[in-house]
């Protein structure tokens, strides 16, 4: 498919997940095949403009990490414009504006989902960014702030007129946070509101069937998968198989182990010993789908050094499939309490 002047190989995209969808994870997933477009974690425009090391790390990329879009956020229009220009000058090929983040630290300064509350100001912001760069600009948003303020259809229609190349819709309101289930009718209303601009459906896709159901129900042009990619890193390949008339290929245990090691190896390449700390949280997602026995997942969630990882990987290879629970540990520990305090 095409997004502006960009050729995107498949309509199955990786949704941004702050803290996870960084270069090593993207590369490891791309090697499995089937992924269309990846987007970086959200990067604060101000921090990027002041060249903070953390922001530069978030936009780190490599020649095999294409196509890639960088997602930026800010409540200050001039800073979004400045960051977009900087990214274009630095050679990046696409910008995504975050209008969906529900976290208080993002919405409190006017960014993320807060932008959806003032449609006129949101349009001015988007228009300013689109007018400032030659590379394609997209927007990711929710259905609206809450059920009384469903602004996504009107915003998407306006954004199309302003030259935005695609809009990703997470089918929940900001007020819902990550609770309840995704509203496919809500995504379908956004699809119906636009003329030609591709709408990318997002939310709760955990299996190829979920993606196909979302596409069928909403008519969206593409699907963005976030948590589902950690629960099944082969989901893009399976979807690509299905859309090419092939039976979806399930990975065997050796391929699962190879993926675990490859992801870690790519993290070490970028972060050296610090990779151990960063890898811990992936273990809570990977344990169940990769069939890692509970006690080994528990060790993986506390790994202290690179040699220990490889010792554990050997043990995992010997005991793979001996896991009792099929529920990922990460799914048991979801954020709770009022969304205002996340």
- The residues that are catalytic are 101
Nearest-approach distance from CB 18 to ligand FMN, in angstroms: 4
Taking the complex as a whole, how short is the minimal distance between the CB of residue 21 and ligand FMN, in angstroms? 7
E strand intervals along the chain:
2-3, 6-7, 12-14, 38-44, 68-73, 95-99, 137-144, 166-173, 199-202, 222-225
CB of 171 to ligand FMN, least distance (A): 8
Distance of CA 329 to the CA centre of its chain: 20
Task: Determine if 176 is a binding residue for ligand FMN (CB under 6 A).
Answer: no
- 225 near ligand FMN, judged by CB under 6 A: yes
Query: x/- site string to ligand FMN, residues 8 to 37, per CB under 6 A?
Result: -------xxxxx------------------
Query: Rounded to an integer, what distance in angstroms lies between the CA atom of residue 215 and that of residue 331?
Result: 25
Length of the chain, in residues: 342
# binding residues, ligand FMN (CB under 6 A)? 21
According to the binding rule CB under 6 A, does residue 102 interact with ligand FMN? no
114, 174, 227, 323: which one binds ligand FMN (CB under 6 A): 227
Task: Give the shortest CB-64-to-ligand FMN separation in angstroms.
Answer: 22
Piece in contact with ligand FMN (CB under 6 A), picked from 188-196, 223-231, 280-288, 312-320: 223-231
Site for ligand FMN in 46-75 (CB under 6 A): 71
Q: Can residue 123 be called a binding residue for ligand FMN (CB under 6 A)?
A: no
Exposed / middle / buried, residue 64 (Cβ in 10 Å: 0-12, 13-18, 19+)? exposed
Q: How far apart are CA 31 and CA 170, in angstroms?
A: 26
For residue 319, the tally of other CB atoms under 10 A from its CB is 14
Map residue 132 onto helix, strand or coil.
helix
Q: Is 184 helix (H, G, I), strand (E, B) or coil?
A: helix
CB of 35 to ligand FMN, least distance (A): 14
Applying CB under 6 A, does 232 fall inside the site for ligand FMN? Answer: no
Is 155 an interacting residue with respect to ligand FMN (CB under 6 A)? no
**CB 179 → ligand FMN: shortest distance, Å?**
12
Q: Are the C-beta atoms of 184 and 218 separated by less than 8 Å?
A: yes
- How would you class 300 by CB atoms within 10 Å of its CB: exposed for 0-12, middle for 13-18, buried for 19 or more? buried
**226 near ligand FMN, rule: CB under 6 A:** yes
Residues 113 and 169: their CA atoms lie apart, in Å, by 12
**Contacting residue, 48, 84, 115, 205, with ligand FMN by CB under 6 A:** 205
Q: Please say which residue, 136 or 293, places its beta carbon nearer to ligand FMN.
A: 136
Cα–Cα distance measured from residue 202 to residue 268, given in angstroms and rounded to the nearest whole number: 30
CB nearer to ligand FMN: pick between 98 and 127? 98
The contact set with ligand FMN (CB under 6 A) reads 15-19, 41-42, 71, 98, 100-101, 140, 170, 202-205, 225-228
């Amino acid at each position: 498919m095409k997004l502006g002047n960009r050729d995107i190989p498949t309509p199955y995209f990786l949704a941004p997940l702050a803290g996870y969808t960084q270069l090593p994870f993207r590369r490891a997933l791309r090697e499995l095949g089937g992924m269309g477009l990846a987007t970086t974690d959200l990067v604060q425009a101000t921090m990027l403009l002041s060249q903070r090391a953390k922001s530069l790390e978030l936009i780190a990329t490599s020649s095999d990490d294409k196509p890639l879009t960088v997602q930026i956020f800010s409540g200050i229009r001039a800073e979004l414009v400045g960051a977009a220009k900087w990214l274009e000058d630095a050679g990046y090929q696409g910008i995504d504006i975050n209008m969906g983040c529900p976290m208080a630290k993002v919405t409190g300064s006017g960014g993320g989902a807060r932008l959806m509350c003032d449609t006129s100001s949101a349009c001015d912001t988007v228009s300013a960014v689109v007018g400032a760069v030659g590379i394609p600009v997209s927007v990711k948003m929710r259905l609206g702030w809450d059920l009384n303020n469903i602004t996504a259809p009107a915003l998407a229609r306006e954004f199309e007129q302003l030259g935005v190349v695609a809009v990703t819709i997470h089918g929940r309101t900001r007020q819902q946070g990550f609770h309840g289930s995704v509203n496919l009718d809500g995504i379908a209303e956004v699809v119906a509101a636009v003329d030609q601009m591709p709408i990318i459906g997002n939310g709760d896709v955990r299996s190829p069937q979920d993606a196909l159901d979302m596409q069928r129900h909403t008519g969206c042009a593409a699907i963005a998968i976030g948590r589902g990619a950690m629960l099944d890193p082969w989901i893009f390949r399976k979807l690509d198989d299905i859309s090419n008339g092939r039976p979806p290929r399930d990975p065997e245990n050796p391929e699962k182990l190879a993926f675990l090691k490859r992801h870690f190896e790519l993290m070490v390449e970028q972060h050296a010993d610090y990779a151990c700390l960063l890898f811990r949280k992936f273990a809570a997602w990977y344990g169940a789908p990769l069939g890692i026995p509970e006690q080994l997942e528990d060790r993986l969630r506390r790994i202290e050094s690179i040699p220990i990882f490889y010792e554990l990987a050997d043990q995992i290879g010997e005991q793979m499939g001996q896991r009792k629970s099929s529920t990922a540990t990460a799914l048991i520990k979801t954020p709770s309490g009022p969304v205002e305090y996340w």
